[in-house]
Amino acid sequence: MSELDAEWARIISEAESRARTAGRSDVSDYLSLRAANDQARALGIKWLIETFIALAGHANRAGAGISFEQTDAHRFSVHRSTMVGTRLTLRVGLRALIVEAGWPRLPADGIVRGGGLAGARVSHFGDSTASDELLLVRKTNGGAPQWVVLETTGTRTEFLEGRGQSHVKKLLGNS
């Protein structure tokens, strides 16, 4: 979690406490839900980024030579919305695999479409057909959030580590 995100969480927590003390349970409930959603978003994004770093690290131990670059507070567009989050770029020569994950932070940024908590994009520089658009959603049984791939057919497929491995293989030219 970045310093900005940690400070935001502290401010939300203090506001929730003040609302509860003032008897404003409606505001307190909203802020509590927002804090829980922000925590789920941060954890989901952390898992996604760390999964790709681990996959690239495994490939590097086998001699792949993948370089890493990570940027926080990265802004990117998904449809008509602006997401703010993390960008991870994995490079091998001129090839690049870019993982962007975040959520709208301001009302002007728009919404996460499809009822998700956060959005992500996994893209290959120069090959848009190999890209995946992801959505972080809550499981129906109330469990931990999960990333799903928004397929071109309109279906949602759970994003598993194997799909990430396929992206890393494509980056290495092994697809």
Q: How do residues 21-77 score in pLDDT, each as one tens digit?
A: 887 777 777 777 778 888 889 999 999 999 999 999 999 999 999 999 999 989 999
97 located within any domain = yes
Query: What's the DSSP call for residue 80?
Result: T
Residues 6+ apart with CB under 8 A from 15: 27, 31
- The answer to whether position 29 is within a domain reads no
Instruction: With respect to residue 117, please indicate whether it lies within any of the assigned structural domains.
Output: yes
pLDDT reading at 87 higher than 70: yes
Q: What's the confidence (pLDDT) of residue 22?
A: 82
CB 48 within 8 Å of CB 147: yes
Q: Cα dist. 25→8, 16, 167 in Å?
A: 21, 9, 46
pLDDT at 51 (0 to 100) = 97
- Which pLDDT score is estimated for 20? 77
Tell me the whole-structure pTM to 2 decimals.
Answer: 0.85
Confirm whether 64 is domain-assigned: yes
Q: Would 151 be classed as within a structural domain?
A: yes
**114 contacts 136 by C-beta, under 8 angstroms:** no
Is the pLDDT confidence value at 5 over 70? no
* Domain region containing 65: 48-171
Is 122 a member of any domain? yes
Percent of the chain topping pLDDT 90? 60
d(CA 118, CA 102): 6
Q: Say if 91 falls within a structural domain.
A: yes
Structurally, how many domains does the chain consist of?
1
